[in-house]
Amino acid sequence: MCREPTLLFVQKRSVQPGRPAGTTTRDAELAHAFGAAVPALRTERGIAQDSLAHLASVERSHMGKMELGEHMPTLALIFKISGALECSTAVLMSEAESQLAAAAKHSRRRTRPTQGGFGRRED
C-alpha cells in the first residue's frame, strides 16, 4: 500500500489588524517611545549600541530593533537594559514617558488648509 505524499504549506506570520507595517507589536507608540529612551540614555552615558547589547546580554540586532521601536522588550529585558545603563528602571521608564509625551504633543499639532493641500500650522 502506497501513501500519497502530503504537502505542507508554511505560512508567513501575517500582520495583525492595527499593527503598523514593519512592527511586531500592536502598541507601536509605546515601542517607539521606549526605543527613543534607550539611545537617549545610552548616548548620554557614552555607550555604543553594541556595547549596551553586550552588557545587557542581548543580540545587537535585537537592541537595534528595540531602539527603532520595532520590538517591545519584556519586563526582564527592561531590567537588563537599565542595569547595563547603570540606572534604575524608574529612570528608564521616566525617559520613555517623556518621549511618549513629546510624540503626543508633536502629533497634536493642528493642520490648516494651504494652497497645495494641508500643511502644519506652527503654534
- Which domain, by its residues, includes 98? 28-104
In a domain, 119, yes or no: no
Rounded Cα distance between 11 and 26, Å, is: 20
Give the helix/strand (H/E) hosting 19: none
In a domain, 23, yes or no: no
Q: Give the type of residue at 78.
A: I
Find the CATH number of the domain harbouring 65.
Answer: 1.10.260.40
Instruction: Give 19-64 pLDDT, tens digit per residue.
Output: 555 555 568 899 999 999 999 999 999 999 999 999 999 999 999 9
The domain total for the chain is 1
Instruction: Give 69-97 pLDDT, tens digit per residue.
Output: 999 999 999 999 999 999 999 999 999 99
Beta bridge partners of residue 112, listed in sequence order: 119
Phi, psi of 4 (to 5 degrees): -80, 140
Tell me if residue 64 falls in helix, strand or coil.
helix
Please say whether the dihedral angle defined by the alpha carbons of residues 41, 42, 43 and 46, taken in this order, is positive or negative.
Answer: positive
